Chain A
Amino acid sequence: MFNTKNLFKILTALIVLSFVLTACAQPTETPVVDEPPAVEQPPVEEPVVEEKPSGKLVIWVQQANQDVWESTVLPAFLEEYPDIEIEFVNYAPDEVANQVGLAIQGGIGVPDLAVTEYRSITALVELGGLMDLTAIVEPHMDVLNTTMMGYCTKDGNVYCVPWDIGPVVTFYRRDVFDAAGLASDPDSVSAAIATYDDLLDTCKVIQERTGLPCFGLNKANNYGTMLENMLWQQGLGFYDENGNVTIDDPYVVEALEKIGAFWEADVVSDSLEWTDPWYAELNADIDNMDTPPIATVTIGAWMGNFLKAWAAADQAGNWGVAMMPAYSPGGVRASNQGGSAYFIPEGSQNVEAAKAFIEFVNLDVDNQVAQFVYSDYFPANSATYTDPFFQEPDPYFGNQVTRALFAEVAEKVPFGFIYGQYAVTMSNNAATALQNYALGLRSAQDALTEAANAVRLETGLQ
């Protein structure tokens, strides 16, 4: 028998349960009544607010590049993207890729964005660990330098975005050419040094008539840049399209011997690039007997800024720019030295901000021109070449229109098999071969065979 107390408890429990069940129950289908069919209302379009990237953007870059941004486009970028906070970490040029490589291996601590030279980036492109940037580069494919894009591309995907390129030209001293009784206007000089053989003849004339060296070509510590230029301009290099080592191929032997002819003729100085004696030769007056000036330097176009700013600041008006020599008559008179590109390592914590930075700072034509005006870093973006600035005469170079010449050369640079996964190893071994040959320790063939074998052993390539 239920007593009253129990009955009350049961009723209370049932009431509570009914409330709970009602609350949890799915809404039942509304019974269909004869109502006029509802008129379908168009969806209310809410204004789409594109969210801009924000947050911290860590960029690994050499100090000089950071200076260029800070002095030109960075304020505008931060105005456009006020919620992005940039943190720069500076490394030496070749250290950026090393540090990124280590961070990728470790799986932590990668930057959000990095900029360094192609020579270093190409190894990372080959090894993997960089983000695919094809999507942001695609709209600009037709204006970005094809050759440099080649170093950024693997299996059809783009892993770095070219910033600048180093079209190789021959800077020459007008006053030295004048003193040697040679025509010193750019066209005449370009014609006088049409090939390396012509350059050698011109050097001999300069040597005979002025006693001045033609250029610096160190023997013991030579970096091998002249050899690289000679191969690159022919579309060759230290390996072939199948990845086989070619350092000991006959064409490299021939190039080495062509360089040897300059030592044999005794028309060059023994100064080494990027050392004080070389700087002294670049900036020396023609009558300086202690440190005679060199007549030419064949190097990337970025050297123009270095000459103006510090390497030969006293020689304004005396330097001119000519086309580099071709390897053989009618050959290509364009090669590349240096240049850099942007890349985003996998594991970047702020990919959107990094992409925004590349698009704003590097792919925007006006911003790219602004950086070129400031720095002389020659853009790899040909859309910039139509800017009036490229047609302006340069007072330092005797009012020559140098930038148009640089642009012409930049567009002719062929793909050379110099950069790549083993660029550093190949260059170092080729340079050692050149030093061995220059010092008379080995014949050209022996020195290159030794270098090629060392590369094969170290890299596992054939």
Chain B
Amino acid sequence: MACSHTLIFDERLYDAQVLQKAAYRSINTLTVDIISEEGRFICVLSLNIGLDEPAFLSAIQEFKKDVLDYQLRHRLAVETQPIKNLILGLAFSKTGLISE
């Protein structure tokens, strides 16, 4: 029996990539179809074949948490990108740091 659930995300608050990552992460239990429409992302979650309803409810909850997590990761990554490059530059510089 196929289960399906729809979630709507405001485009101003969530990046498409974030939804895609959350969808990817849940690929073992769900498949997610994402459509963009009038400033909103519409996500249709379908349960993978062979899994039951409790698993579906659980997976939906996980998906929602994952969306929030990935959104936060995105913010963090953007903000720390420059300093990350600086640190890696230091790490690989020829003149610095202990060798061994």
The answer to whether A and B belong to the same complex is no
Chain A residues within 8 Å of B, Cβ to Cβ: none
